[in-house]
Amino acid sequence: MNYLMFQEMQDGEITISIQQECQKKTSDSLGESIFEPLYKVQLHMITLRELLVFHSLHVCPTISYLNNVVVDQNNPLCFFKCFLDFDGMNMASIMSFDSRSMSYLLQDEFASLIDKNHPIFFKNKIQKSSSGKQLPRFFFRNAVDSALKNNQVGAVNAILKYIVSYQNNYISGFML
């Protein structure tokens, strides 16, 4: 059985840990329950600077302008953070429709910004378009699915290279 554990960190960061209950054998016949973490997702509070960067991305008229905004950031850490404002998604997953941006963000130069304990590629909950008074319906898609949907083979290559290098574990197979 899996359990969710919410841990509050400093500066408004929240870590959600998915844990599995295991029985540890002891000398008596009862045993002891222990909880082993499977994976963690860290959620951040959005800052004004990050909000302005994301708004700039939203108003870009072409993909070239969008790529220029991404490349102009001297610290691309904001693209790897997961935000509650984006339903737990991060901009790296959202921007998987562009091969140039993904290749830039996932290059080895930024490996020091990546925390191996917190994956950035996982299934994201996306709302289907609804009309009228119907209840909203959702589907799940990951960054690889979005890149394939937009025929971005370069983005798929960059994402898979990242996953093999930094998210290569048993649990990540279930998250994608």
* Domain of residue 34, residue span: 2-42
Same domain, 8 and 63: no
Same domain, 140 and 153: yes
What's the CA gap between 54 and 84, in Å, rounded? Answer: 14
Among 114-118, 143-147, 150-154, 155-159, which stretch is predicted with the lowest mean pLDDT?
Answer: 114-118
Same domain, 62 and 13: no
Same domain, 87 and 138: yes
Q: Which helix (H) or strand (E) holds 88?
A: none
What's the CA gap between 92 and 155, in Å, rounded? Answer: 11
Contact 97, 155 (CB under 8 A): yes
**Assigned token pair, 98:** 């562009």
**Assigned token pair, 135:** 């209840």
Q: Which amino acid is at 8?
A: E
pLDDT mean across residues, the chain:
83
Q: Nearest-CA neighbor of 80 among 52, 49, 41?
A: 41
Residue 20: its pLDDT value, please? Answer: 83
CB atoms under 10 Å from CB of 172, counted, come to 16
Same domain, 37 and 52: no
Can you list the alpha helix ranges (DSSP code H) found in 34-116? 48-58, 63-72, 91-94, 99-105
Domain count, the chain: 2
Same domain, 62 and 119: yes
Q: Which amino acid is at 100?
A: R
Same domain, 16 and 103: no
Residue 28 has pLDDT above 70, yes or no: no
Same domain, 36 and 62: no
Q: pLDDT tens, 80-128?
A: 888 877 888 888 888 999 999 999 999 888 888 887 777 888 888 888 8
Residue 159: its pLDDT value, please? Answer: 92
Same domain, 68 and 149: yes
CA atoms within 13 A on the CB side of 2: 9
Same domain, 118 and 90: yes
**Assigned token pair, 92:** 């790296």
